[in-house]
Amino acid sequence: MDYPIYKAVINPDMQSDVEVNFIALVDKPAIEKNFMAFQKFVEPNSGEEKDKFIPRCISYVINEGKEEAQAVAICNSIWSQHFASSRISCDYDNTLDTPKGRALAEKLIKQNNDVYIISARHDKADLMPIAKELNIPSDNVYATGSLDHKIKTIHDLNIQKHYDDNPDVIKKLPQGIGQKFTGNILKFSVNEEKRIISGAAMIADLPIYRKDDVLGEYYVIFDAASIQDIVQKFSAKGFMNNFNLFHDDKAAVSDVTIFNSFISNTDLGIHPPEGFEDCANGSWFISAKVNNDEVWQRVKSGELRGFSVEGLFNYIPMQMEAAVKKYTQEEAAALIQQILSETDFS
């Protein structure tokens, strides 16, 4: 199912609190606070027939504010997705052995995909702990012994999508099957001598899967323009010392300060740091000095691994944005005038 995509934006007005105002230090980097906790959307129950589920689902979705026609379409899509199954495989090294890779596999499994582990390692036993953790059947785990045998296994199993950090594997797979994976894309690097943590705070145009009780399942992105507004306002309001732990309002920490902040723009010669080369132009990178002893120990132990921005946002459906862009300013003004002239306000 193709989920709707929303663009997240802030209000550049300095008096508005629709903004990013904190950076959280987290174990599994995510994006903004109000995307963190979501309730389970309506799904078919075990053994439930379609003619029972669809009316129940429609009622639920309408109560969430959707029109009836939209609710019908959403519920039929949910039913189809619930019973859909695609064969999707993941490499192990630098893919499934990263927090981001495990999160990806968990999401794919929850979407009822048939998930495989296909690695060039020689010993399948190396792969079984993560397979058991993710409840991936042993029959879906392959240690092929070489890249060539890995590619052949992907082909022989009729895998529809394969995630791998190795560009040579991606190149040798048919177009659309190989998916480049960067496991540490949101993880910060650590300079122990200087107590500096560096990494991506926001990645431009990165679709982030979300699910809540209002919008259902969807993706949210921050484009380059939104990130620029966010960074400019964040800096102007003096938030460079605003850090907390795990998006906890009661866990603000002192003595952690952003001293380097930039937005990548290769046209201007501003390139992403090493290891972040595949991040789109407009991504935000920061370095922070950690003088807080407790926080530093948690960084060194690996408990804190990345940055996650926190704030309030407005959401613009991408379909709506695309429609708006079809009109010039003059055309939009004329359309508004026409609507006003045809509307009875009495």
- Whether residue 39 has pLDDT greater than 80: no
Residues 78 and 190 in one domain: no
Answer with the one of 180, 202, 223 that is the final residue of a domain: 180
The number of angstroms, rounded, from the C-alpha of 22 to the middle of its chain's C-alpha atoms is 19
Report if residue 334 sits inside a domain.
no
pLDDT at 185 over 80: no
- Least confident among 72-81, 128-137, 274-283, 300-309: 72-81
Average pLDDT over residues 307-313: 91
> Which segment, 86-90, 272-276, 303-307, is predicted with the most confidence on average?
86-90
- Residue 39 CA to chain centroid, in angstroms? 17
Cβ(187)–Cβ(306) below 8 Å = yes
What was the pLDDT predicted at 189?
78
Q: How deeply is 146 buried, as exposed, middle or buried, from its count of CB atoms within 10 A (0-12, 13-18, 19+)?
A: exposed
Q: Give 92 or 276, the one with higher predicted confidence.
A: 92
Last residue of a domain, one of 110, 145, 180: 180
pLDDT reported for residue 323: 43
Share of the chain above pLDDT 70, in %: 82
Closest C-alpha among 51, 55, 62, 108 to residue 81: 108
Q: Are residues 9 and 66 in the same domain?
A: no
Q: Are residues 240 and 304 in the same domain?
A: yes
| 339 part of a folded domain | no
Q: What is the pLDDT of residue 304?
A: 87
CATH number, domain with residue 149: 3.40.50.1000
Q: What is the pLDDT of residue 338?
A: 53
Residue 133 maps to a domain: yes
Task: Please state the rounded mean pLDDT for residues 267-296.
Answer: 88
Q: How many domains does the chain have?
A: 3
Same domain assignment for residues 193 and 311? yes
Report whether 290 contacts 195 (CB < 8 A).
yes
The average pLDDT across 147-174 equals 91
In this structure, the answer to whether residues 159 and 190 fall within a common structural domain is no
The span from the CA of 186 to the CA of 104, in Å, is 14
Residues 101-158 pLDDT 10s? 888 899 888 877 889 999 999 999 999 999 999 999 999 999 999 999 999 999 999 8
Residue 343 pLDDT > 50: no
* Residues 191 and 308 occupy one common structural domain: yes
pLDDT band with cut points at 50, 70 and 90 for residue 265: very high
Residue-level pLDDT at 33:
33
Residues 104 and 210 in one domain: no
Indicate if the pLDDT at residue 184 is higher than 70: no
- Quote the pLDDT of residue 210: 76
Is residue 283 within 8 A of residue 272, CB to CB? The reply is yes
Clarify whether residues 216 and 313 are in a common domain.
yes
Confidence of residue 258 (pLDDT cuts 50, 70, 90): very high
Same domain, 197 and 305: yes
In a domain, 336, yes or no: no
Looking at residue 74, its pLDDT comes to: 77
Same domain, residue pair 262 and 299: yes
Task: Look up tokens 């893919």; give the residue.
Answer: 95
Clarify whether residues 217 and 290 are in a common domain. Answer: yes
Sign of CA dihedral 284, 164, 32, 4: positive
> Would residue 222 count as lying in a domain?
yes
Residue 249 has pLDDT above 80, yes or no: yes
- pTM reported for the whole predicted model: 0.53
User: 88-97, 218-227, 323-332 — which is least confidently predicted?
Assistant: 323-332
Q: Which domain holds residue 253?
A: 5-39+186-321
| Model pLDDT, residue 327 | 44
Domain co-membership, 73 together with 18 = no
Residue 111 is predicted with a pLDDT of 74
Query: Does residue 35 belong to any structural domain of this protein?
Result: yes
